[in-house]
C-alpha cells in the first residue's frame, strides 16, 4: 500500500467514476482499476462496489475514507512544507530534438519557472524507452517511438521536412530544383541508425517501389558527418531542415527542392502510463503542447522556379566529368577519418 494508492482511492471516491479518477491521476482506466483492486486486496476489505449505474462506496469504504482523509491532507501539507522549493523535471530526447528543438523550449520554460531544475538526457529511442520504464525520466521526445508499448502515452508533436542540400560551391548549387528521377545519377549521403533501418532509409525504399532509384554511397551515424562530407563535395546530402538551417543561413550549403519527393519526419511526446507526472512535469507537458503551433513543418526557403533549360541529367553528367579523381579520393579519405573519429 502506497500514498499514491490512497490518492487514487480518494480521487475515485470524489468522482465515483474510475475513468475520471484515472484522468486526474494521469493514468489509464485499466491501470487505475488494477491498482484499486490490489489496494483493496492489501487492505483486506472491499471499499468500492458496482451498483449497475456506476460505482459507489461500500460501508467499509465510507468508514475508511472518513478516517484516512484527515491523515492524508496532513501528509500532503507536510510534504509541501518540507519539499525543497526547487522542483525538477528530467526530459529525454533523441539526437535531433535534443540539439535543435529542446534547448530553445527549455530556455523559454525556465524564464517562466526560474526555480525549476531541468535536466536533458540525449539517448537513442531504445534507450529512452528503458529510461521511461525505469522511471529515470519524466517524459521524452523521440523521432522513433516504439510501436505497441502499452506502458506509454504517445502524442504526435513536431513535423519537419527532410531536405536535400549540397555545398555552396557544388555545381548543383546553381539549380533551384531538380527531378526526383535524376537522383539515381548523384552520390547520396544519409544518416543511419545503429539498430534497424532509419526513417530516411525506409522512406527511400518506399519511393524505390515507385520506380525512383537512389544512389546512396555513404551512411553516417551523425548529422555532422553528413554535413562534413557534403561540404567536401562528396555528393548530395539529406537531413532534416533544422540540422542544416544554420549552414544555409551562413552560405555554406544550398537547399535543393525536389518536387514530388516529400519526406516528412515526425517527433512524438512520450510518457509513462504507470507513473503519474509530477506537477512540474505536467506543466512542461502542457508547455510542449502549446508550443506545437511554433513547431509546424519547416520547409526549405527555395522558390518553385522551373528547372533550367539544360536537363538535370546533363548538368549532373557535366559535374561528374569535371570532378577530378583527387577530389573523390579526398572525399573518401574525409569519410574514413570521420568514421574513425566517431568510433
Helix (H, G, I), strand (E, B) or coil at 274: coil
Residues in the chain: 343
Distance between CA atoms of 292 and 157, rounded to whole angstroms?
Answer: 7
All cell numbers assigned to 76: 500532503
Distance between CA atoms of 82 and 254, rounded to whole angstroms?
Answer: 56
- Residues 302, 191: contact at Cβ < 8 Å? no
All cell numbers assigned to 324: 577530378
For the cut 90, the answer to whether the pLDDT of residue 186 exceeds it is no
DSSP H or E segment with residue 139? strand 139-142
The angle, 0 to 180 degrees and rounded to 10, between the axes of the packed helices 102-112 and 279-290 is: 120
Which candidate, 236, 158, 177, 173, places its Cα nearest to that of 204?
236
Distance between CA atoms of 170 and 168, rounded to whole angstroms?
Answer: 6
All cell numbers assigned to 307: 528547372
Entry pTM: 0.56
pLDDT tens, residue by residue, 91-141: 999 888 888 889 999 999 999 988 889 999 998 888 888 888 878 899 999
**What fold does the segment set 88-158+266-295 form as a domain?**
D-Maltodextrin-Binding Protein; domain 2 (3.40.190)
pLDDT tens, residue by residue, 236-267: 999 988 889 899 999 999 998 887 777 777 88
Report the CATH architecture of 161-265+302-342: 3-Layer(aba) Sandwich (3.40)
Q: Do domains 88-158+266-295 and 161-265+302-342 have the same CATH topology?
A: yes
Q: Are strands 139-142 and 264-272 parallel, antiparallel or unpaired?
A: antiparallel
Average pLDDT of span 335-341 = 42
Average pLDDT of span 206-212 = 63
For the cut 80, the answer to whether the pLDDT of residue 320 exceeds it is no
CATH of domain 3-82: 1.10.10.10
Domain chopping of the chain, boundaries: 3-82, 88-158+266-295, 161-265+302-342
- Residues 153, 282: contact at Cβ < 8 Å? no
- Residues 222, 336: contact at Cβ < 8 Å? no
Task: Write down the residue that cell numbers 533549360 correspond to.
Answer: 309
Amino acid at each position: 500500500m502506497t500514498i499514491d494508492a490512497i490518492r487514487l482511492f480518494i480521487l475515485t471516491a470524489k468522482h465515483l467514476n474510475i475513468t475520471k479518477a484515472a484522468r486526474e491521476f494521469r493514468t489509464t482506466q485499466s491501470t487505475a482499476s488494477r491498482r484499486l483492486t490490489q489496494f483493496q486486496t492489501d487492505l483486506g476489505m472491499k471499499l468500492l462496489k458496482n451498483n449497475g449505474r456506476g460505482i459507489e462506496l461500500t460501508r467499509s469504504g465510507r468508514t475508511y475514507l472518513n478516517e484516512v482523509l484527515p491523515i492524508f491532507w496532513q501528509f500532503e501539507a507536510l510534504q509541501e512544507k518540507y519539499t525543497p522549493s526547487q522542483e525538477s523535471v528530467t526530459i529525454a530526447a533523441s539526437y535531433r530534438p535534443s540539439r535543435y528543438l529542446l534547448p530553445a523550449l527549455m530556455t523559454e520554460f525556465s524564464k517562466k519557472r526560474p526555480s525549476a531544475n531541468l535536466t536533458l538526457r540525449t539517448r537513442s529511442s531504445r534507450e529512452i524507452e528503458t529510461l521511461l520504464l525505469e522511471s529515470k525520466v519524466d517524459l521524452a521526445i523521440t523521432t522513433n517511438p516504439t510501436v505497441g508499448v502499452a506502458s506509454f502515452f504517445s502524442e504526435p508533436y513536431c513535423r519537419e521536412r527532410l531536405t536535400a542540400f549540397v555545398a555552396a560551391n557544388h555545381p548543383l548549387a546553381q539549380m533551384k530544383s531538380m527531378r526526383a528521377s535524376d537522383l539515381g545519377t548523384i552520390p547520396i549521403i544519409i544518416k543511419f541508425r545503429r539498430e534497424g533501418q532509419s526513417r530516411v532509409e525506409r522512406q527511400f525504399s518506399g519511393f524505390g517501389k515507385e520506380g525512383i532509384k537512389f544512389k546512396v554511397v555513404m551512411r553516417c551515424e551523425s548529422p555532422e558527418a553528413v554535413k562534413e562530407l557534403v561540404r567536401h563535395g562528396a555528393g548530395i546530402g539529406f537531413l532534416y531542415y533544422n540540422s542544416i538551417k544554420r549552414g544555409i543561413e551562413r552560405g555554406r550549403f544550398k537547399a535543393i527542392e525536389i518536387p514530388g519527393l516529400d519526406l516528412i519526419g515526425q517527433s512524438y511526446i512520450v510518457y509513462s502510463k504507470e507513473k503519474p507526472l509530477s506537477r512540474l512535469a505536467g506543466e512542461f507537458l502542457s508547455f510542449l503542447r502549446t508550443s506545437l503551433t511554433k513547431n509546424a513543418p519547416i520547409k526549405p526557403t527555395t522558390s518553385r522556379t522551373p528547372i533550367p533549360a539544360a536537363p538535370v541529367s546533363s548538368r549532373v553528367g557535366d559535374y561528374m566529368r569535371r570532378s577530378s579523381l583527387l577530389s573523390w579520393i579526398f572525399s573518401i579519405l574525409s569519410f574514413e577519418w570521420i568514421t574513425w573519429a566517431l568510433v
